[in-house]
Every structure is written in C-alpha cells, then in structure tokens.
Amino acid sequence: MSNVSPVVPVGIEIEPVLLVDKSGSMNYAAAHGANVSRWGVVTEALGTIVASLGAADSQAEAEASAGKDAGGLMTVVFSDTAEEVGDLNPANWREKWSKFRPGGGTRIMPGWKLVVDDYLEEFGDKAEEDRPALVLLVVTDGEAEDMAQFEAECAKAHGHTYVAVAVVGYGAEHDNTVAAYQKITANNNHVQVYNFGSTTDPNQFAEGLLALIG
C-alpha cells in the first residue's frame, strides 16, 4: 500500500460512505497465484471496516434513535449500474452483503450519483457549512468506462467532499488503474489514490482503508 496521508483533515465532522466495485473482475485473484478473490478480501475486511466507520458516522446515533436500522456505514455497490446495500453495522452487514455477487462492467458514475443523492436527501436542507463532510471511500480493481465523467465530478469536489480511491488487484491493468486515478489527484487535494496491489490479508486491507480517513 502506498504511503499517502489521509484524505480528510483532522477534526472535521464526517459522513463516511463506502462505494465498492462489484464488476466481474472482482472475482479474480487478489494477487498472482492467490486462492482468495478481490471480492473475498473486501468481504472479510468488512466487519472491521463497518465497526469502525459506522461509529465514525456523525449521524449514526441520530439514525439509530429514529429507528433507521440502527444506522451504520452507508454502502453502495457498482458495476454497470449501482445498488444501495444500505447502512451496515456489526449486527446486519453479513446478511445485507451476502445478497450481492460480482458481475458486469465497471461504471462508477451510477454509484457516485446514488451516493450524492442520498447525501443531499439527508443533509440538503442544511447550509453547506453545517453539513458533515462527505467522505467517499471507493474500492475498485479497474479503470471505469466513464472515468472522464468521474474526473469531471471530482473536479467539483471541494469544501465538504473528499474522495479516497483504494485500488486492489495486481498486474498491468491494476497499474494502469492506479495511474488513471492518480491523474485526477494531480490538481485536486480533495482526492487521493491508494495502491492496495496484491493485498490478500483482509486485516491489512481493513487497517489500510481505515487509515485513509485518519
């Protein structure tokens, strides 16, 4: 994993959201010769990620008191389209996550739009300075077909929006994906890219992903 500082400045109230690639290639091996898939690594890391980031969600307590499935880490998956997994917490994440399987292409914009729509539905009635920062953690293994559109959206990321992209997998396609996302970061300090190439240990992946927000 590349040694990159967290994308979010210290002391900012946050609303973390997890956006996970479920394209068909997520079924491929996590590393050369590995017997665990990229999807498998993410799945086994989710328990730790959910427990930590669900607690980091500044609105989780209010959501729980309102009866919204006990709050938790808002999670969305994307391939050719996007689907809401929902708020994941230690009590429900395995059941909710088990309903999804990798398949299809890699289009990130449907996921981005779903995340933004959900965020604005919850916080759009507040002034921007009163909203928690939207911290989008993207997990992917391939360059999106709609990368140009995503780059244009990221160019608008300012103020209360931060994006951290964690790239899993290995080989030439992995390296090209890292390079493609790094281009977005060149002039945008609200976007960071992290190289999780050949990571097969779910604990290492979870610790690394959690480090992205400090």
Domains of the chain: 14-211 (3.40.50.410)
User: What pLDDT, on a 0 to 100 scale, did the predictor assign at position 4?
Assistant: 61
* Distances, alpha carbon 42 to alpha carbons 118, 150, 159, 172, in Å: 23, 23, 29, 21
3 C-beta neighbours (distance < 10 Å), count: 7
Q: Does the pLDDT of residue 113 top 60, yes or no?
A: yes
Facing residues of 136 across strands? 17, 163
Q: Does the pLDDT of residue 41 top 80, yes or no?
A: yes
Q: Does the pLDDT of residue 36 top 80, yes or no?
A: yes
Q: Does the pLDDT of residue 59 top 60, yes or no?
A: no
Q: Give all strands of the β-sheet with 161-167 in edge-to-edge order.
A: 82-88, 73-78, 14-21, 133-140, 161-167, 191-195
* Distances, alpha carbon 10 to alpha carbons 5, 13, 14, 77, in Å: 11, 9, 10, 28
Q: Does the pLDDT of residue 174 top 90, yes or no?
A: yes
